[in-house]
Amino acid sequence: MTISQPTSPKISSSTSPKVRRLRDKTVTLAHGSGGQAMQDLIEALFISQFEGKPPTALEDQARIPLDELTAQGDRLAFTTDSYVVDPLFFPGGDIGSLAVNGTVNDLAVSGAVPRYLTCAMILEEGLAIETLQQVVASMVNAAHQAGVKIVTGDTKVVPRGGADKLFINTAGIGVMRRGVTPAAVHIQPGDAVLVNGPIGNHGATILVAREQFALETELQSDCQPLNGLVDAIVAVCPEVRAMRDATRGGLATVLNEFADSAQVGIRLIEDQIPVDDAVRGLCELLGLDPLYLANEGKLVVVVPPDRVDTVLAAMQSHPTGIHSRIIGQVIDGQRVALKTGFGTERIIDRLVGDQLPRIC
């Protein structure tokens, strides 16, 4: 399924005539057979939601005008990711918004302007059509918020037990800004490390939603697009050293990757790392470390020391960076260390194993 001339996303009503063409209440193997049932599913759910325009919408590729891309930069950024979160829906997001925002953010932290996404879905026989409709609508909302277009895709159906309800793969294309080349190898001693808000919310939210703890909590995932925040940063600091969204493995993993790539050390200040009380309390209860919990809307930024105040102000002026803080400094050495509130120091190493599987 391809949308070759994409337009601005718009949510279609679940009661539209095309959606009503789906006679089945659940996904069947016929929806992946290439026949009429599959065509009905694609036209009613995907093309209608993503605003494809037949007949070109049913071609096997997207056709993207090069002049639109070269007008914004001189290189392309290209990424792909797969999403297998359990449960599919959780406070603050779902697998659909996760798939869009995750790929948008992977492009944005490279310094690129995200433009186009693909969407491939693996559906398990028996998945409720209503569930699929909700996921697609969520993807449309997320794409609209991030300012990107979903231009091509694919659908596969596997027998019961062949998947866990729904898996999504998204790939993304962005345009690299001229003169902006963030990469971990550029990090130098003396640079400052910043984060755009409290860490660990996504991982903690998934844990509570999955295990159904008898806890009263207002935890919500931080699932959100970061490309607008990146725009604000590079506007005032095109020489930004490195950026990364702290997803699986959390803040600790990102900083260890930075330290390894640049052959530097990083010293964090525990009291300056923002952690919501609900996340901190859950971690204390279960023996987890928020530094390793997943995030889906947290940006780790490293900037030269003479630009830190300017970048921090720019981040705090953006809706997704209001709670931004300076959390540490790059130093000589090759390890990540945390200065605790007691004045001691502990090494923050890579996570051995996984605190929480299938979080994105």
- Per residue in 240-293, pLDDT (tens digit) is 999 999 999 999 999 999 999 999 999 999 999 999 999 999 999 889 999 999
According to the model, what pLDDT value does residue 254 have?
98
Q: Whole-number mean pLDDT of the chain?
A: 89
Domain with CATH 3.90.650.10 in the chain: 184-347
Domain spanning 184-347 has what CATH number?
A: 3.90.650.10
DSSP-derived 3-state class of residue 253: helix
- Per residue in 1-13, pLDDT (tens digit) is 544 444 333 333 3
Choose among 280, 294, 163: nearest CA to 223: 294
Q: How confident is the model at residue 41 (pLDDT cuts 50, 70, 90)?
A: confident
d(CA 129, CA 139): 15
- The answer, yes or no, to whether residue 131 has pLDDT greater than 90, is yes
Can you give the pTM of this predicted structure?
Answer: 0.90
According to the model, what pLDDT value does residue 214 have?
67
- The answer, yes or no, to whether residue 115 has pLDDT greater than 80, is yes
d(CA 259, CA 219): 31
Domain with CATH 3.30.1330.10 in the chain: 17-176
Say if residues 265 and 331 touch (Cβ distance below 8 Å): yes
- Give me 160's structure tokens: 């019961």
According to the model, what pLDDT value does residue 51 have?
55
- Per residue in 200-242, pLDDT (tens digit) is 999 999 999 887 676 777 899 999 999 999 999 999 999 999 9
Domain spanning 17-176 has what CATH number?
A: 3.30.1330.10
Q: Please, which residues have CB within 8 angstroms of residue 213's CB and are 6 or more apart in sequence?
A: none
d(CA 323, CA 216): 24
